[in-house]
Amino acid sequence: MSRRVLITGGAGFIGSHLADYLIQQGHVVHVIDNLSTGKLSNISHLFDHPCFHFDEGDVVDDQDLRDVVSQVDVIYHLAAVVGTFQVVKKPISVLKTNITGTERVLEAVADSEAKPHLFFASTSEVYGAPNIEFLSEDSPLVIDSSEHYPWHYAISKITGEAYCQTYAQMFDVKATILRFFNIIGPNQTGKYGMVIPRFIQQALVGEPITIFGDGKHERSFCDVRDVVRILALLPHYEDSIGRILNVGSTDLISIIDLAKLIKELTNSSSEFTFFGYDKVYDENFKDIKRRRPDLTALHQLIPFEYEWNLTATLQDLIRRARELHG
């Protein structure tokens, strides 16, 4: 069944992949993006498609937002200030865009007669830094003021989740909260602190692979091409309404082992260089040691098999980088 879909932040990394996939599936897609971090080149190949529409605008003050919302069946609210560099350097922008933007989208949904199904992009950052092997949706959300970390990003997303739940209770808004865990893939840039594109670029040119901290912190990475398939499936399942769902992969790897794997796959001569967080971000920055999702709730809800593992994704990204830069 064809749907009319709005993607806020649809020129960004996840949003552009989602727009591309939904167009291929026969849906009508409308993208709103202020291009602060999104790029037109991510979606320019869709401009001539009759089912694709693009507005350059900011959800915080876009005058056409209500009109667009009133004409769609599904909304993926992905617009946000993201990336560690951005989060550390622009805390006010993080709070304003992530909180006010979400409130504006929810207001428009509440006022819409169609009541589209809203999928809100939250983050694994909301869990804080608990010593838990697998983070499940009912794990505590911990904001520890004694810890030195840019908590304003997590706070902005927790606030967004609270807005979604409140609008659902008071205005019957159909909302699903998605907590993303380290999504990777083509067109992701290292400009805002994303580790894999930065490591690959350094390895390919033989520069030192720069590791922030001691490299022992662990992450689970999931290919964006699997993620958008999950996102496209979810509207088919009404049981997703009112749910909080982790989205990602359970495969875990330390950052130092990630660097070693990329060095091996690129056959690089690069050495490893370690930088303290105070040299990269600021003296108060502290990283999270482990972040790994419990995906039981997601997989009980939808039938899904991953097509990409970490090694396959890295091989594909390395091939693309070599083709791009010769």
pLDDT the model gives residue 192: 58
User: To 10 degrees, what angle do helices 101-111 and 151-171 make?
Assistant: 10
Q: How far is CA 265 from the centre of its chain?
A: 25
Q: What is the pLDDT of residues 238-258, one digit of tens each?
A: 999 999 999 999 999 999 999
Residues in the chain: 326
- Catalytic residue set: 153
Average pLDDT, the chain: 91
Q: Which amino acid is at 53?
A: H
pLDDT band of 282, cuts 50, 70, 90: low
Q: Mean pLDDT throughout 161-166?
A: 98
The dihedral region occupied by 187, where left means phi > 0, alpha psi between -120 and 50, and beta the remainder, is: left
Whole-model pTM?
A: 0.93
Name the phi and psi angles at 192, rounded to 5. Answer: -105, 15
pLDDT the model gives residue 278: 54
Q: Are 14 and 188 in contact (CB under 8 A)?
A: no
Q: Mean pLDDT throughout 210-214?
A: 89
Q: What is the pLDDT of residues 48-101, one digit of tens each?
A: 999 999 999 999 988 889 999 999 999 999 998 776 666 667 778 888 889 999
Calculate Rg over the CA atoms of the chain: 19
Q: In the numeric block, which tokens belong to residue 180?
A: 């993303």
pLDDT at residue 286 greater than cutoff 80? no
Q: Are 44 and 20 in contact (CB under 8 A)?
A: no
* Per-residue exposure over 7-32, b if at least 16 CB sit within 10 Å of its own CB, e if not: bbbbbbbbbbbbbbbbbeeebbbbbb
Q: Please tell me which residue, 318 or 148, carries the higher pLDDT value.
A: 318
Neighbour order of strands in the sheet with 175-180: 52-56, 28-33, 4-8, 74-77, 117-123, 175-180, 244-247
DSSP per-residue string spanning 169-185: HHH---EEEEEE--EE-
pLDDT the model gives residue 100: 95
* Domains of the chain in sequence order: 4-184+223-249 (3.40.50.720)
pLDDT the model gives residue 150: 63
